[in-house]
């Protein structure tokens, strides 16, 4: 990670990581084609393939695809073909789908971010991230250089692909764009995921959400914490990620303001989740909900949760 203008922050970051027992080095030298004020280097890191990782994790498990859970009754999952009974349930549905408990519709929002894949670009040899709020991130894969950025709240206008493309044109002028795609992530109000009991009113039901664009690392944290909680074991990190922690932050009121504004916006095109006004996404030709991030195709067919059914558009 690097900063273009804050050397002291990078020095503090390196010191903080070392204080936790991990190897980190402050440096001003990077493989980037421009100077930085400071950077933190993590030596001996590895890049892994998430799908291959899941293949290994899935061994010995029963996985039922195309089984759309419509609701929970205690720890019984109900779908259109029957019921699935369990002693413990973990809701890992990206955005939690049970609206009656936990206030997740107030504690989460969703964000779009954009990635381009470049041919004829340099091999950086590491994953790199600009720590600035609107910075880019870069990594190589299979001969391509991936450049990401341009994030904005789902349902609101943003720079989209303009940010990573402008970066690529400036610093890698001989590269050629081969692929481009968008991601969607759940964002919590204080920057930390919600991992733990779904709510006090739902015993034996747990949740993991709000990974804030750090899904690979946060999912490992969630696995460690939830593995302990479902077996009634103490986990020293559980309190820091508990979903019932205080969320009285400025982002809470900003989130509520956005939601209320779109609740009262007069339009016939409404989200099937909680009724917010949908916004047309001309870039991806979809109807997007600025309240909680549900997305629908042009004809109203559901793309992304937390909505659970198509919308009339």
Distances (CA, A) of 294 to 39, 280, 304, 310: 37, 12, 5, 10
Q: What share of the chain is helix, strand, coil (3-state, %, to 5)?
A: 20, 30, 50
Residue-level pLDDT, tens digit, the chain, 313 residues: 999 999 999 999 999 999 999 999 999 999 999 999 999 999 988 888 889 999 998 999 988 888 889 899 999 999 988 999 999 999 999 999 998 898 898 899 999 999 999 999 999 989 999 999 889 999 999 999 999 999 899 988 877 899 999 999 999 999 999 999 999 999 998 889 999 999 999 999 999 999 998 999 999 999 999 999 999 999 999 999 999 998 766 666 666 667 676 666 777 788 888 888 899 998 899 999 998 899 999 999 999 989 888 888 7
Q: What is the pTM (predicted TM-score) of this model?
A: 0.87
| Structural domains of the chain, count | 2
- 206, part of any domain: no
- 284/288 Cα distance (integer angstroms): 10
- 146, part of any domain: no
Q: Alpha-carbon Rg of the chain, whole angstroms? A: 21
Q: Which residues pair with 281 in a beta bridge?
A: 286
User: Pairing state of beta strands 2-3 and 286-288?
Assistant: unpaired
- 298, part of any domain: yes
Q: Which residues of 65-91 are buried (b: 16+ CB within 10 A; e: fewer)?
A: eeeebeebeeeebeeeeeeeeeeebbb
Its domain, for residue 2, covers 1-45
- 287, part of any domain: yes
- 12, part of any domain: yes
In 29-185, which residue ranges form alpha helices assigned H by DSSP? 50-57, 104-107, 162-171
- 154/195 Cα distance (integer angstroms): 23
- 101, part of any domain: no
Q: In terms of Cα–Cα distance, which of 178, 59, 68, 56 is closest to 116?
A: 178
Distances (CA, A) of 78 to 18, 65, 83, 123, 184: 47, 14, 5, 49, 27
- 92, part of any domain: no
- 261, part of any domain: yes
* Last residue in a domain, options 28, 45, 62: 45
The helix/strand/coil state of 264 is: helix
CATH of the domain at 272: 2.102.10.10
């Amino acid at each position: 990670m690097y900063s273009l203008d804050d050397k002291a922050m990078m020095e503090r970051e390196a010191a903080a990581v070392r204080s936790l027992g991990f190897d980190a080095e402050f440096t001003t030298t990077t493989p980037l084609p421009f100077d930085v004020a400071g950077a933190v280097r993590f030596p001996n890191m590895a890049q892994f393939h998430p799908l291959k990782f899941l293949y290994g994790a899935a061994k010995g498990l029963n996985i039922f695809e195309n089984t759309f859970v419509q609701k929970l009754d205690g720890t019984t999952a109900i779908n259109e073909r029957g019921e699935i009974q369990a002693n413990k349930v973990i809701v890992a549905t990206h955005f939690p789908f049970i609206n009656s408990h936990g206030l997740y519709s107030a504690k989460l929002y969703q964000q779009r971010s954009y990635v381009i894949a470049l041919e004829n670009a340099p091999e950086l040899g590491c994953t790199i991230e600009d720590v600035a709020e609107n910075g880019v991130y870069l990594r190589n894969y299979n001969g391509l250089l991936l450049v990401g950025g341009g994030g904005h709240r789902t349902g609101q206008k943003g720079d989209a692909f303009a940010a990573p493309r402008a970066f690529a044109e400036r610093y890698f002028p001989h590269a050629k764009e081969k692929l481009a795609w968008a991601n969607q992530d759940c964002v919590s109000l204080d920057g930390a995921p919600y991992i733990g009991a779904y709510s006090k009113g739902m015993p034996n039901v747990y949740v993991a959400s709000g990974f804030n664009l750090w899904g690979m690392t946060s999912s490992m944290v969630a696995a460690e914490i939830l593995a302990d909680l479902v077996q009634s074991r103490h986990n020293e990190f559980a309190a820091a990620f508990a979903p019932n922690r205080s969320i009285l932050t400025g982002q809470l009121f900003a989130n509520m303001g956005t939601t209320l504004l779109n609740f009262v916006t007069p339009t016939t095109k409404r989200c099937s989740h909680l009724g917010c006004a949908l916004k047309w996404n001309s870039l991806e030709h979809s109807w997007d909900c600025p309240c909680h991030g549900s997305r629908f195709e042009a004809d109203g067919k559901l793309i992304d949760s937390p909505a659970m059914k198509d919308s009339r558009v």
